[in-house]
Amino acid sequence: MVIRRKKNWDKPFSEKVAKRVSKIPSGELLIWSDQILYELSRCLSVYEKNRDQVYLDEALTGAEAIHAVVDELHKRLSRIE
C-alpha cells in the first residue's frame, strides 16, 4: 500500500481564494484588508499566550488572504496605469 502525501501548493494562496477575491469590488477589498489584518494580529496574539495550533493555522489562512487581496489590488491598479 502506497500512502501519497498531498502535494504542497506552490503558490502563496489557493485558486479558490484568488477567485473569491477577484469578485469583490475594489472599495470593499480595502475593508476586507483591514478586517484580515485585525484577525491575523488577534490570532497571533492568542497563539503567543496559549500556543494552541488552531490559532497559528488561522493566522496562516489570514496571511494567505491578505496576500491575495493585495495581489488583486495590484493587478487592478496595474491595468489602470
For CA atoms 77, 22, 12, 46, the dihedral sign is positive
Rounded (5°) CA angle 63-22-27: 85
Model pLDDT for residues 39-68, shown as the tens digit of each residue: 999 999 999 999 999 999 999 999 999 999
pLDDT band at 72 (very low <50, low <70, confident <90, very high): very high
pLDDT at 12: 78
pTM: 0.77
As a whole number of Å, the end-to-end CA separation of the chain is 55
Strands (E), the chain: none
Measured CA distances, 75 to 16, 28, 78 (Å): 17, 15, 5
Model pLDDT for residues 5-48, shown as the tens digit of each residue: 555 545 678 889 889 999 999 889 999 999 999 999 999 999 99
pLDDT at 80: 73
Closest CA to 76 of 68, 39, 6: 68
pLDDT at 63: 92
Amino acid at 19: K
